[in-house]
Structure 1
Amino acid sequence: MPRTPARRRRPYRHTAVTFLAALALALTPATAHAAGDFTPVPPHNPYAGPDGTATMHGDTGSSDTTPLAGPGAGTLGAKRTALASACPTVLAGGDGYPVALCTPIFGQVPTVHLLDPDDGSSLAELALVKGSLLGGVYAYLDHEDRLVVADGGNRLLRVGHHRAADGSWELTVDRSLSLASAVPAGDAVTGLSPDWRGRVWFATGGGVVGTADDTTGTVRALTLPAGERVANSISTAPRGTAVTTTHATYLLTAGADGTPRISWRAPYDRGSARKPGLLSWGSGSTPTFFGPASGTEYVTIVDNADDAAHLEVYRSADGTRICRVPVLRAAAGPASENSPVAAGRSVFVAGTYGYPYPAVPEGAGDSVPASAGFAGGLTRVDVAADGSGCSLVWDNTLRSAAVPKLSTADGLLRTVLRDPLVPGTGGTSLLDPYRYAEIDPATGTVVRSARVGVGSLYDTLQMAGTITPDGAYLQGTVTGVLRITAG
């Protein structure tokens, strides 16, 4: 376990979460939506860190929800920790210490940072072996607050943070397991997540899906059909592991020895080419588990059809498609690189069509058209109470520049908006203003916002934000981490 002095120890378990949620509800503006409308969420994975902060998408079901309330009443302010790195993954363990996985602008060697929970500054850093562009993106915190990540050498690492003899912090590789027996030369791990037996599931860009047990050294793998690539992370629930490739969504399970097997496969419309604002030719979604009873009855993604982006919802039991609903129509932006946000019967989709990513992964292919204005858009879809279909609740033109996060404590969606330099236009520029926003999920209306910066230093690059136990909202940017608070 990480060793933390008592005066800095920040226990984050069920009692602390309940207290913080109740306190935040009393402090949050009255416009906040009733939190109980968006439950349940996927069950807690005993081999992951705290729900809401253990993974980029909050939990291992990738719901993009959190049981923590964000900044309360008061004037909103933002402080930037400059790390000269893009920081897509900002997590927080049971001790309250944020851990960020960043890729430096120069050298692009993935680097782990331990951040000070009080001001966001870096307390310690550890460079990892460089791999693919997506190799320094997806990771999670385990139940002992260790960052679980695959490095460029295809080693599964558990990185812990500890106090050194002189009282300073240090990051160390506490455990390591080679995945070379399962990952072909030239391939690399893209996403990983623990299952309910403690095994680590992983998927590679080339379409290998496997399990790894770093207590026994056992690695087992399955290769998906030729030509199918995995360009996003994966999700786990008690029923199995969801993986979306550039052609289809899968649910996989494993036998006692860890060998993966396919329970079902659901193909989707991947379109005729990659669209601008996507990083691969196919769905940009990490598959999301959600549902009104267990929190995992359904799995959802967004497809890449030429004419429109559609939300696709499947039954996790057998892969039966419940609905296929056009989304992001108000913004006329038919693409989403972001994982859907989902809780209870509701799903929220943020559009990324035309977002100016500075680079795309190798093999992504040319986009058609070559470029486009950033359309944005945010849509809510609800599944019918009897599971017979879906309906669009609202659809707007907000230009989210980050993966939204839904708090079940204060009932607000949070994101960072990229406003056009010239109001009313659809283009982007190096001088665009960025605005932290709280959105009422009942209506899609912004209820509070504050500018956090202007210009490319503040580009949030469609990365996910995280609410910490003290209510701060941490948001990765292309140059570091923003810490947004109220007071």
Structure 2
Amino acid sequence: MHSVPKTSLRTASAFAALSLSLVLGSGTALAQPWGPLAPPNPFLGPDGTSTMHGDAGSSDVTTLAGPGTEVSATAQSLLAACPTLLQGSDGLVVALCTPIVSRIPTVHLINPDAPASPLAKLELAKGSLLGGVYAFLDDENRLVVVDGSRKLLRIGHTGNSLSVDSTVDLTGAVPDGDAVTGLVPDWQGNVWFATGAGVIGSVDAAGVARTVRVPEGEQVQNSISSSPAGVSVATTHALYQLSLAADGTPKVDWRQGYDRGSARKPGQLSWGTGSTPTFFGPNTGYEYVTMVDSADTRVNLLVHRTDNGQEVCKVPVLGSGGPGSENSPIGVGNSVFVASTYGYPYPAVPEGAGPAVPATAPFTGGMTRVDVDADGTGCHEVWDNTVRSSAVPHLSTADGHLYTVQRKGTGGPLDGYEFTVIDPATGQVLSTTGMPGTTANDTLQMSALITAKGDYLQGTVTGMVRVSAGEGGGSGSLGSLGGLGSSAS
């Protein structure tokens, strides 16, 4: 597969979105062009496919078109949970999976047209539940990850083989018993990391790591994000933006506390926000950064200016879905999309997460769209629906669709799953397609990959599901008649 320059992809996608918006009818999802996005990070692989959340800013937006509404879905068993699916400029997919039996993190090199038969595998040192989950592809298609022995690895591939191209020992920067939970490059090529116990660090091109600590008791249980404005880290108590001091040491530019509630909630993996921070904005694509708090009775979307940390708005969200979100919001232009995970029946939580209060709750589901006001001084809810999203949703600016998976059932072992396409303008479901299997194919709020070919690869607890354009067993446009309770406001 020949690679296409990133700038060309962005220009072509933006032109296509604008042109289509002028000719498509009002019933079509693509009713407006979406964007802009922040400029591509030059130290990442292809834009949209080189991080779990699409790009360095964790927008969960792609300029690639997805499979659309008429699709077929097939399960691909790898006997492993696969939360990280990335695609390089050569078209090959690099998956970071955890086998069901050994629990040893394993890198899979996959031909996306035959995902059930990996071309190569490479085992990594075992760490914590969240350690090693977050990784990215660099500009040479190498997987950058920190393994359980606290080593920063760059894993390359040639032909049908995987190999460790470089290693940086972080044991001097990451204390014993701690693990890296977030990883992202900045615009100078430094690799930033954050640990569960609250160490934030940067590794320069020479392999030198420099760190700073957040206050005692604050943890980092989600990934981290970067933009030309800085690096954003959400702890269990506050949102931070950081940059490098003159000597290369990370420094805090601003800190904003938030309401973390009185305890961990069912459907969340830590006591505090479940958000990987998301950069977005209508001009540069990164003038704002957003996250969801963990307030007790109803959670709020928080939007801050990246230049000074000033709060733009605090808006209650997920009125239908329950007070909790473990997912990174989608952010593009003036719009943010949030999905509820409150009550989601995770089979395990990280060690030390603490008890949930209440211990369990029904997974009701729901999504909310919030827009920043045109003058940048406030926000307002656009719609709220009851879609029971069981995966991290993604928005395609090329086809104007919001893609996710719905969980169907009551939270038991016989629950099923449906590939779901949503109109981001209205929150209405455009189509649903049944996916193979029951909870053996639980999507577990994991993030999907929309490939350069337009397939939707969704990680599950046993491998992945591949959704491709073509006639399938879905309900088509009937999905929008399913009593979703979408409301504009």
TM over 0.5: yes
Corresponding residue to 1:254 among 244, 249, 260 = 244
The corresponding residue for 2:484 is none
Corresponding residue to 2:169 among 175, 178, 181 = 178
SS in structure 2 at match of 1:242: strand
CA RMSD of aligned residues (A): 1.9
For residues 43-102 of structure 1, the C-alpha deviation after alignment (integer angstroms, 9 at most, x for no partner) is 2100011111111000000000000001146x4111222111111111111111111111
**1:100 is aligned to 2:90:** no
**1:301 is aligned to 2:291:** yes
The corresponding residue for 2:464 is 481
SS in structure 2 at match of 1:411: coil
The corresponding residue for 2:58 is 62
TM-superposed CA distance for 1:180, in Å, is: 1.1
Structure 2 residue identity aligned to 1:172: S
Unaligned stretches of 5+ in structure 2? 471-489
The corresponding residue for 1:455 is 438
SS in structure 2 at match of 1:37: coil
Q: Distance in 1 between matches of 2:66 and 2:91?
A: 15
**1:87 is aligned to 2:70:** no
The corresponding residue for 2:196 is 205
Structure 2 residue identity aligned to 1:450: T
Structure 1 residue identity aligned to 2:414: L
Corresponding residue to 1:280 among 260, 270, 276 = 270
The corresponding residue for 1:373 is 362
For residues 381-435 of structure 1, the C-alpha deviation after alignment (integer angstroms, 9 at most, x for no partner) is 0000111101000001110000000001111100000012xxxxxx311111100
Corresponding residue to 1:414 among 392, 398, 403 = 403
**1:264 is aligned to 2:236:** no
For residues 437-480 of structure 1, the C-alpha deviation after alignment (integer angstroms, 9 at most, x for no partner) is 11000110111220012311221000011110100001000000
1:23/1:419 Cα in 2 relative to 1: closer, same or farther (>3 Å)? same
Corresponding residue to 1:404 among 371, 393, 397 = 393
Q: Distance in 1 between matches of 2:2 and 2:440?
A: 32
Structure 2 residue identity aligned to 1:339: S
Structure 2 residue identity aligned to 1:419: K
The corresponding residue for 2:347 is 358
CA contact (8 A) 1:35 1:408 kept: no
CA contact (8 A) 1:32 1:410 kept: no
Corresponding residue to 2:337 among 348, 351, 367 = 348
SS in structure 1 at match of 2:324: coil
**1:444 is aligned to 2:427:** yes
For residues 217-270 of structure 1, the C-alpha deviation after alignment (integer angstroms, 9 at most, x for no partner) is 211000110000000000001110000000000000002432000000000000
Structure 2 residue identity aligned to 1:389: G
Q: Distance in 1 between matches of 2:68 and 2:114?
A: 17
The corresponding residue for 2:476 is none
Q: Distance in 2 between matches of 1:35 and 1:68?
A: 17
TM-superposed CA distance for 1:181, in Å, is: 1.3
Corresponding residue to 1:386 among 375, 389, 393 = 375
CA contact (8 A) 1:212 1:220 kept: yes
CA contact (8 A) 1:129 1:152 kept: yes
Name whichever of 229-238 and 37-46 sits farther off: 37-46
The corresponding residue for 2:485 is none
TM-superposed CA distance for 1:19, in Å, is: 5.8
TM-superposed CA distance for 1:20, in Å, is: 7.5
The corresponding residue for 1:228 is 218
**1:76 is aligned to 2:71:** yes
SS in structure 2 at match of 1:454: coil
Unaligned stretches of 5+ in structure 1? 1-7, 164-168, 421-426
Q: TM-score, length-normalised on structure 1?
A: 0.92
CA contact (8 A) 1:128 1:151 kept: yes
Q: Distance in 2 between matches of 1:188 and 1:160?
A: 23
The corresponding residue for 1:241 is 231
SS in structure 2 at match of 1:348: strand
SS in structure 2 at match of 1:184: coil
SS in structure 1 at match of 2:130: helix
Name whichever of 17-26 and 129-138 sits farther off: 17-26
Q: TM-score, length-normalised on structure 2?
A: 0.92
Structure 2 residue identity aligned to 1:45: N
Q: Distance in 2 between matches of 1:198 and 1:204?
A: 20
Q: Distance in 2 between matches of 1:33 and 1:94?
A: 29
Q: Distance in 1 between matches of 2:112 and 2:296?
A: 44
CA contact (8 A) 2:443 2:460 kept: yes
CA contact (8 A) 2:80 2:97 kept: yes
Corresponding residue to 1:466 among 449, 454, 473 = 449
1:351/1:232 Cα in 2 relative to 1: closer, same or farther (>3 Å)? same
1:23/1:453 Cα in 2 relative to 1: closer, same or farther (>3 Å)? farther
Q: Distance in 2 between matches of 1:17 and 1:312?
A: 28
Q: Distance in 2 between matches of 1:351 and 1:188?
A: 27
Structure 2 residue identity aligned to 1:351: S
CA contact (8 A) 1:12 1:96 kept: no
Q: Distance in 2 between matches of 1:53 and 1:217?
A: 26
